[in-house]
A and B are shown apart, each in its own frame.
Chain A
Amino acid sequence: MSALSELSHLKHRGPVTPEQRAARRKEASHDNKAGYLFLLPWLVGLFVFTLGPILASLYLSLTDYSLIQAPNFLGLDNYERMLTDDRLHQSLKVTLIYVGVGVPLQLALALGVAVLLNKGMRGLAFYRSVFYLPSMLGSSVAIALLWRQIFGTTGLVNQVLQLLGLDATTGYVSDPDYALWTLILLNVWTFGSPMVIFLAGLRQIPTMYYEAAALDGASRISQFARITMPLLSPIIFFNLVLQIINAFQAFTQAFVVSNGTGGPSDSTLFYTLYLYEQGFTRFDMGYASAMAWLLLAIIATFTAVNFLLAKFWVFYDD
C-alpha cells in the first residue's frame, strides 16, 4: 500500500464498543516505553525541525522580522501586502502554469511509455534505465546549466534547427515567451520516476484479465480503458498527488536557468524563487513566512481537492 492509500484508509475504522476500546488500549500500550525510545530521534526531529518551524513561521508571518532586529507585531499586514504584490501574483501564475501543464504532460508520457513497456518484452531493462536516468539527474545544477546552453541563442536546439535550414536565432531561455516552457520541458524530461511506479503497478494486474478480454474480442483500446485504467487508477492518483507537490517545490532549475532572477521579465519567477528572494536576499523573513503559509495552504488545498475528486475516478478493489 502506498503512503496515500494508507492515509485514506486510516479513518475507516468503524464503531467500537467501550470494551473493545479498552482491550485495544491495553494491547496498544504493550511496548509503550520501548516504542517511544525507538521513536525518540524522529520525535525530536518532528518537533524541532518540522512542526516547530511550521508554528514559528505562523507567528513570524505576523511580524516584520529581519534577522537583525527583534520582530515587531504587524497583525495581518503581510497578508494584506500579498493582495497588492504584483510580483507575488506573477509568481503564482508562473507556478500554476508550470504545475498545470507540466505535471499532466509528464504523467501522460510516463503512463504511455509504461504501457508500451509491457511485461516481459525484450530490452525492458535497457529502456527502463534510459528513461529513468534523466529523472535521477534532472534536479541537478549540471543539467540546469546544460538546459541553459541547449535553449540559448547558439544552443543545441538552434544548431539543429539551422541544420534543417531554418533561420533559428531565438534565445529561448532569454525570451519571456519561451523561458517557462523550457522548464516545463525539463520537467517532462524527468518522466522516468513516475514511469517506474506505473510499471510496478502494471505488473500487479493479472495477465488473465487481458486474456479473458481478448477471448471476448475486446480491442486493445477497450482493454486499456476498462482493465488497465481502473486497476491502475490508485497509482495514477498517487503519482498525481506526489508530482503536483513536487512541481510546486521546483526551484533549482529556474534559479540556475535565470541565474537567480526569475527572469526574463519574471517569466520564470517560481513561487519558491520569490520566497527565496524575500527571505534570503532581502531578509524580509516575516513576509517570506507569510508566503510559506500561503504555499502550505495552496498545496494542502490541491491535495484535499485531489482526495475529494478521487472518489469519482479512483477504483480500490480491496
Chain B
Amino acid sequence: MTETIAGEIDAPRTPADHLRSLVKHAVLIAVSLLMIYPLLWMIVSSLRPTEVIFRAPGLWLNQLYVDNYAEGWFALSQAFDWYLVNSAIVVSGAIIGNLISCSLAAYAFARLKFRGRGLWFAIMLMTIMIPIHVIVVPQYILFNAFDMVNTFLPLVLPKFVATDAFFVFLMVQFIRGIPRELDEAATIDGAGHLRIFGQVLIPLMIPALATTAIFTFIWTWSDFFTPLIYLTSPDMYTVPVALRSFLDATSGSNWGAMFAMSIVSLIPMFLAFLFGQKFLVKGIATTGGK
C-alpha cells in the first residue's frame, strides 16, 4: 500500500530525474541481456547442427534442426523418457515426504509447549547449515548396510523424517503469522491437536506448503550429488546423472544432442519457476528477511 503512495509522491519529474531513470533502465536491460543470453543461445543452439554451434554466436536460425532432439533422446542405454520418469518418481516422493514431515515438526515448534523445545529448535536451526558432504559417508555406509544403494530410497526416505530443516523453519515462520485465536476457538469446540493441525492450520498453510513443494521440486530435480553417489546402475539414473553421462557416451563432442537434452531437463524447472515464482520470492523473503 505505502509503496504505491510513495511512488506517486515521487512522480514530479525533472529532466534530470528522467535521464537518471533512462540510464538506470539501460544498465538493467544490459545486465539482463548478458545474464540471459547464454540461456537463449543454448535454446537456439539445440536447434542447430553441431558444426554450426562452433561458429554461430548469434541467435538467428536459418532452419530448425530438430534431429538433435531425436538423436539425444536415444543416445544413452535407455530412451530419455526413462530418466525423466526416474526423476519424477524421486521428486514426487521427496515432495510428499517434505510436506508431511516438515509440517508436523513445524506445528510442534510453532504451537506446542513442551520441554526442551528451545534446545531442539536451536539444534534444528543449526542443522540447516550442515553440509551434506559432512554426513554423506556414514549415511552411505548406513544405506549400504540395509542394501538400499542403487534404489531410490536413499534419495526419498530422509525427506520423510524432515531432514530438510530449511522447510521446517519456513513453515514455523508461516504458522507464527497465523492468529492463535483460530486454534483456541477450535480447542473450545473440543478439537485435539491433530484436528487443529489438519483442519485449521493445514488449509491456512497452503502458501507455505506450495513454497516447500516448489523448492523441493527444483532442488531435487537438479540434485546431482546424491544420485551420483547412490544410483550406480545406468537404469536407475535420474536426469542430471544421465545428462552428465553424455560426456562419456559422446566423448563430450556432440553438443547438439547434449544441448537438446539439457533443454529438455530444464523445461520442468523453468515451468516450476514460472508458475511458482510468487511463492519462491515470498518464501525466500520470509526466511531470509527479518
- Residues of A at the B interface (CB closer than 8 Å) are 1-3, 5-7, 10, 25, 27-32, 34-36, 38-46, 48-50, 52-54, 56-57, 60, 65, 67, 113, 116-117, 119-123, 127-134, 136-137, 139-143, 145-146, 148-150, 154, 156, 159-160, 163, 189, 193, 196-197, 199-201, 203-204, 207, 234-235, 238-239, 241-242, 245, 248-249, 251-252, 255-256, 259, 272, 275-276, 279-280, 285, 288-289, 292-293, 295-296, 299, 303
Question: Known contacts A38-B104, A133-B36, A160-B57; is A10 also within 8 Å of B122 by CB?
Answer: yes
| Closest partner residue, chain A, to B32 (CB atom) | A130
Question: Known contacts A49-B163, A60-B138; is A6 also within 8 Å of B125 by CB?
Answer: yes
Minimum CB–CB distance from B133 to chain A (whole Å) comes to 5
B255 at the interface (CB under 8 A from A): yes
Q: Which chain A residues lie closer than 8 Å to B39 at the CB level?
A: 133-134, 137, 146
Interface pair A201/B289, CB less than 8 Å apart: yes
Contact with A along B31-65 (1 / 0, CB 8 A): 11001101101100000000001111100000000
CB-defined A-B contacts under 8 Å, sample of 9:
A3-B287, A35-B108, A65-B141, A131-B35, A137-B270, A201-B289, A235-B290, A245-B131, A292-B133
Interface pair A234/B288, CB less than 8 Å apart: no
Q: Which chain B residues lie closer than 8 Å to A137 at the CB level?
A: 39, 222, 266, 269-270, 273
Interface pair B193/A235, CB less than 8 Å apart: no
Question: Known contacts A52-B138, A57-B135; is A113 also within 8 Å of B290 by CB?
Answer: no
| Closest partner residue, chain A, to B97 (CB atom) | A41
Minimum CB–CB distance from A280 to chain B (whole Å) comes to 6
Interface pair A140/B269, CB less than 8 Å apart: yes
Minimum CB–CB distance from A289 to chain B (whole Å) comes to 5
Interface centre among A27, A129, A130, A279 (most CB of B within 10 A): A130
| Closest partner residue, chain A, to B123 (CB atom) | A46
Q: Which chain A residues lie closer than 8 Å to B115 at the CB level?
A: 25, 28-29, 32
Could you say which of B73-81, B154-162, B205-213 contacts chain A?
Answer: B154-162
Interface pair A54/B113, CB less than 8 Å apart: no
Interface pair A42/B104, CB less than 8 Å apart: yes
Minimum CB–CB distance from B9 to chain A (whole Å) comes to 8
Interface pair A207/B6, CB less than 8 Å apart: yes
- Docked Cα-Cα span, A41 to B160, in Å, equals 7
Interface pair B129/A197, CB less than 8 Å apart: no
Interface pair A145/B262, CB less than 8 Å apart: yes
Interface pair A2/B4, CB less than 8 Å apart: no
- Docked Cα-Cα span, A7 to B36, in Å, equals 37
Q: Which chain A residues lie closer than 8 Å to B134 at the CB level?
A: 53-54, 57, 292-293, 295-296
Minimum CB–CB distance from A245 to chain B (whole Å) comes to 5
Interface pair A53/B138, CB less than 8 Å apart: yes
For window 229-288 of chain B, which residues contact chain A by CB distance below 8 Å?
A: 229, 239-241, 243-244, 246-247, 252, 255, 258-259, 262-263, 265-266, 269-270, 273, 277, 280-281, 284-285, 287-288
Question: Known contacts A120-B4, A146-B38; is A38 also within 8 Å of B105 by CB?
Answer: yes
- Docked Cα-Cα span, A42 to B104, in Å, equals 8
- Docked Cα-Cα span, A249 to B105, in Å, equals 26
- Quick one: which of A117, A159, A251, A288 contacts B224, CB cutoff 8 A? A251
- Quick one: which of A130, A159, A239, A295 contacts B36, CB cutoff 8 A? A130
Q: Which chain B residues lie closer than 8 Å to A133 at the CB level?
A: 36, 39, 270, 273
- Quick one: which of A28, A272, A285 contacts B133, CB cutoff 8 A? A272
Interface pair A130/B262, CB less than 8 Å apart: no
Minimum CB–CB distance from B146 to chain A (whole Å) comes to 11
Minimum CB–CB distance from B94 to chain A (whole Å) comes to 13
- Docked Cα-Cα span, A44 to B157, in Å, equals 11
Q: How many A-B residue pairs have CB under 8 A?
A: 307
Minimum CB–CB distance from A275 to chain B (whole Å) comes to 6
Interface centre among A45, A156, A197 (most CB of B within 10 A): A45
- Docked Cα-Cα span, A34 to B105, in Å, equals 11
**Additional A-B contacts beyond A38-B104, A46-B123 (11; CB < 8 A):** A28-B113, A45-B163, A46-B124, A53-B138, A54-B134, A132-B281, A133-B39, A141-B262, A197-B284, A197-B285, A289-B138
Which 7 pairs, one residue from A and one from B, show the smallest C-beta to C-beta distance?
Answer: A35-B114, A45-B161, A200-B285, A120-B7, A142-B262, A197-B288, A53-B138
Q: Which chain A residues lie closer than 8 Å to B6 at the CB level?
A: 119-120, 207
Interface centre among B6, B108, B239 (most CB of A within 10 A): B108
B16 at the interface (CB under 8 A from A): no
Q: Which chain A residues lie closer than 8 Å to B138 at the CB level?
A: 52-54, 56-57, 60, 289
Q: Which chain A residues lie closer than 8 Å to B7 at the CB level?
A: 119-120
Question: Known contacts A42-B161, A116-B24; is A142 also within 8 Å of B112 by CB?
Answer: no
- Docked Cα-Cα span, A25 to B116, in Å, equals 10
- Docked Cα-Cα span, A133 to B162, in Å, equals 27
Q: Which chain A residues lie closer than 8 Å to B153 at the CB level?
A: none
Q: Which chain B residues lie closer than 8 Å to A134 at the CB level?
A: 35-36, 39
Interface pair B114/A201, CB less than 8 Å apart: no
Question: Known contacts A39-B120, A285-B137; is A140 also within 8 Å of B240 by CB?
Answer: yes
Q: Which chain B residues lie closer than 8 Å to A303 at the CB level?
A: 129
- Docked Cα-Cα span, A238 to B113, in Å, equals 28
- Docked Cα-Cα span, A113 to B132, in Å, equals 31
B189 at the interface (CB under 8 A from A): no
Minimum CB–CB distance from B223 to chain A (whole Å) comes to 8
- Quick one: which of B38, B107, B114, B222 contacts A141, CB cutoff 8 A? B222
